Amino acid sequence: MKNKMWWGYLHSNNTIQVKPWFGDILDYTTDCYNNPFVIKVVEPFEVDTRDEALKIISDKLKGS
């Protein structure tokens, strides 16, 4: 069963940041949506490992 939540974003220095999400909407909305260094945000989703999260976030960012 998948029970870990993750979110991430593309930073202006072209790195992908992957973060665990613990259920607080302010984790990503406050830190990212008004941050000039954040290019695109991938909202929280459920997957087991950080490696899986990185792949999903990378794929979503490439598709945008």
- In this prediction the pTM is 0.83
- Residue 49 DSSP one-character state: -
**What's the rounded mean pLDDT across residues 28-43?**
84
- pLDDT greater than 80 at residue 39: yes
- Residue 5 DSSP one-character state: E
